[in-house]
Amino acid sequence: MGLRDMIRGEFIDLIEWLDDGNSTLAWRFPRYDNEIKNGAQLIVREGQQALFVYRGQLADRYVPGHYTLTSENMPIMSTLQGWKYGFNSPFRSEVYYINTRPVTDFRWGTPQPVTVRDPDFRMVQVRANGTSTVKVTDAEVFLRQVIGTESVVDTEQIVDLLRRNISLAFSDMVLQTGLGAIDLQGRQVELSDKLREFVAQRMQPFGLGVDQVTMIISLPEEIQQAMTRGVARGVEASGFLSNVDLNRYQQAQAADAMLAAAENPSGGGAMGAAMQAGMGVVLGGQMAGAMQGGFAQPQPQQQPQPGYAPPPLPGQQAFHIELDGQAAGPYPQDQLRQFVASGQLTPQTNVWTTGMPAWAAAQTVPALQPLFAAPPPLPGTPPPLPPQ
């Protein structure tokens, strides 16, 4: 190698960045100890910007195009280096390429649940996750706030920054909207645009813009199960659980547990059918009260509604009975005696109570056999004659 080739190897005459992927956001041209000579060629492709930094100070910026570096198209560099009459000797400068194309499929999620004040369930902790599309909108700000002295900045290096700010923006959005947990989930597509605005405000100081944010809101498992089961049967979907407070929700959970026990094969098909029918009557009555604004507080000393028996006195065993092909009750034995007198309860009527494996005829239940026994004879009445 001749002396001229050695001197030429110390000079840079072509500056460009060939990026095969879309995961790198910034790349510093590897100048090392070489110098950029007068008339060097600078190539900036679509989706790129080139920034010249001289001794830590931002100099000239170039948008997509092909440039021959002279003092005429390097006004800031000419001022910094004192090129009053143009430069003829090589100079040293750092060159950063910035990727300005959108980077898609940034995945995010709330690291901790966000507490939402809900009109139905008081306080609910919700989570959210989704994807976002980000790009560099201000190369100079991005250079100062994110790149620093790094030679390469890829998407992995801003993931934490992006996720943290999206989570904070989600909390801000929930607080501003004031919506309950179920309303948030029902309007999550509409609220995605609002979330994008909150995220864009937080990412602007870093020179980053947010083109799109998708959002999926997750409710606690117990509320999802309640919605799936349809606790509010008979209530319009738009008003689901709107008047049901947390206490009634817990009561519904207990009712579902009883239904699950009734459906257990070991409990017998007849018993399961009876419990399902009985619980359907109870839940139906509760939800009807909720639609009329009730449920808030139980009212003592209420008169029993027609067709419903008061709760049995302490110590009395209550039975479910079959009336007109459907389960009714439970009724205490005092009221069952009235049914016997009216003919509604016969020895062949099916009955069931807690502890019985299945429905059975009333006359086979020891506790009910006295109801069907013949009354003793009146005083002075001769005893019946023995059979011939």
Tell me: the pLDDT tens digits for 40-62? 999 999 999 999 999 889 999 99
Alpha-carbon gap, residue 104 to 191, rounded angstroms: 20
Mean pLDDT of 117-121: 81
Strands of the chain, DSSP E: 11-15, 24-28, 35-44, 48-54, 57-62, 65-68, 94-99, 103-109, 114-118, 122-136, 152-154, 208-213, 216-218, 318-323, 326-332, 350-352, 360-361
Residue 259 has pLDDT above 70, yes or no: no
pLDDT reported for residue 138: 96
Number of residues that this document lists for the chain: 388
Q: Please check the confidence at residue 90 and state whether its pLDDT lies above 90.
A: no
Tell me the percentage of the chain whose pLDDT exceeds 70.
70
Reported as half-sphere exposure (CB side, CA atoms, 13 A), residue 69 has a value of 30
The average confidence (pLDDT) of the chain is 77
> What number of other Cβ atoms are within 10 A of residue 276's Cβ?
14
- Enumerate the domain spans of the chain: 3-99, 103-219, 222-291, 318-370
Which pLDDT score, from 0 to 100, does residue 14 have? 92
Is-contact 179 239, C-beta < 8 A? no
11-20, 77-86, 246-255, 367-376: range with lowest mean pLDDT:
246-255
Which token pair is 187? 């309007």
139 versus 86: the higher-pLDDT residue is 139
CA-to-CA separations, 308 to 46, 300, 362, in angstroms, rounded: 79, 16, 21
| Residue linked to tokens 């620093």 | 148
Q: Is the pLDDT of residue 208 over 60?
A: yes
Question: Which of 228-232, 292-296, 315-319 shows the lowest mean pLDDT across its residues?
Answer: 292-296
Residue 188 has pLDDT above 60, yes or no: yes
| DSSP-assigned states of every residue in 207-274 | TEEEEEE--EEE--HHHHHHHHHTSSTTS-GGGTTTT--HHHHHHHHHHHHHHHHHTSGGG-HHHHHH
Tell me the two tokens of residue 137: 């909108």
Q: What is the pLDDT at residue 162? A: 93
Q: Describe the chain by its helix, strand, coil percentages, rounded to 5.
A: 35, 25, 35
The stretch 200-225 carries a mean pLDDT of 90
Question: Between residues 100 and 286, which one has the greater pLDDT?
Answer: 100
Core vs surface per residue 83-110: b (16+ CB within 10 A) or e: beeebeeebebbbbbbbbeebeebebeb
Q: Does the bond joining 376 to the residue before it have cis omega, within 30 degrees of 0?
A: no
**CATH number for the segment(s) 318-370:** 3.30.1490
The Cα 64–Cα 15 span in angstroms is: 13
- Which residue did the predictor score with more confidence, 45 or 248? 45
**pTM of the full predicted structure?**
0.56
| Whether residue 211 has pLDDT greater than 60 | yes
What sign results for the dihedral spanned by CA atoms 193, 196, 129, 242?
A: negative
Q: What is the pLDDT of residue 254?
A: 58
Closest CA to 196 of 216, 213, 175, 218: 213
d(CA 318, CA 125): 42
CB-neighbour burial class of residue 1 (10 A; exposed 0-12, middle 13-18, buried 19+): exposed
CB 361 within 8 A of CB 386: no
Q: H or E stretch including 278? A: helix 269-291
pLDDT range class, residue 11, cuts 50, 70, 90: confident
Assess whether pLDDT exceeds 50 at residue 312. Answer: yes
Max CA distance (Å), the chain: 149
Of 320, 315, 317, whose CA–CA distance to 330 is shortest? 320
pLDDT band of 256, cuts 50, 70, 90:
low
Q: What is the pLDDT of residue 130?
A: 93
Amino acid occupying residue 66: H
| Cβ–Cβ < 8 Å for 363, 371 | no
pLDDT tier for residue 198 given thresholds of 50, 70 and 90: very high
The CATH number corresponding to 103-219 among 3.30.70.1280, 3.30.1330.60, 3.40.50.300, 3.30.479.30 equals 3.30.479.30
CA distance 144 to 148: 6
pLDDT at 260: 57
